[in-house]
Chain A
C-alpha cells in the first residue's frame, strides 16, 4: 500500500470548515483513499473513502486531485466533538496501514 504524509497537527475554530490535507504521491490506480478518525480511548471511526471522484456523506467531503497524488478531507462545520486524530490511508490490500495521522483540535 502507498504511504501517506499528513501534518502532525492542525487547529480549527468551531463552526468553521476543517480542511485536512494528505499526500499520497505513490498511489497506484486501484488504491482507494480512506479516512478514519480516532477520539481518545475509542476505536477508529470510518469517515469516508474514494477512488477518483470526489465523495460526500453526512460526515464529510473528500476531494481527490485529478492526478490522485493528494486529497483533502473537509469537515464543513467543525464542532468540539470533531477533535480527534485523523488518519488518511491508501489501501488495496486486506489491511489498513495507519500512519501517525493529524491531531485536529477544534477551538471554541
Chain B
C-alpha cells in the first residue's frame, strides 16, 4: 500500500475523444510522475510535475498534458485519443525533485481502452 491513489481504475473511450486521469500523491510527496504501460511492456515515462510545473518529459506528443495542484495531486489529460493510447497509465509520487535518489512510489494505475 503506497498511499498513491488513481481514478478511475478503468475507462473506455472512443477515438478522437479526450480523457482526464487523476492521481493523489502519497502524503508528504511533492513530485508526481506519469507513465504509460502498453500490454506486455515496461512503463514508459510521460512527464513529471514538481511545484506545479512540468519538470521533464519523455517522448510523448503535446496532446499529452498535465497539471499539478497546490496539494500535489495531479491530472493527466490526453486529447484526440488514438487506438495506440490504450494502456495502463501509472502515477508515481516522490519527495523532492532535488534529491534524485528518492524512490518513486506507484499507484495501481488507470486502465484506458480506446475503441
Complex interface residues of chain B between 12 and 54 (CB less than 8 A to chain A) = 33, 35, 41-45, 48
A103 to B58, alpha carbons, bound, how many Å?
A: 26
Contact A94:B44 (CB < 8 A) given known A43-B109, A46-B104: no
Task: Say what secondary structure dominates the interface of chain B.
Answer: loop
Task: Say what secondary structure dominates the interface of chain A.
Answer: loop
Tell me which residues across on chain A come within 8 A of B33, comparing CB atoms: 94-96
Q: B106 in the interface, Cβ–Cβ < 8 Å?
A: yes
Q: A68 in the interface, Cβ–Cβ < 8 Å?
A: no
Tell me which residues across on chain B come within 8 A of A51, comparing CB atoms: 101
A interface residues (Cβ-Cβ under 8 A, vs B): 32, 34, 36, 41-46, 49, 51, 87, 91-101
Complex A-B: 19 CB contacts under 8 Å: A32-B101, A42-B109, A43-B4, A43-B106, A43-B107, A43-B108, A44-B90, A45-B2, A49-B101, A49-B103, A91-B100, A93-B100, A94-B33, A94-B55, A94-B56, A96-B43, A96-B92, A98-B35, A101-B42
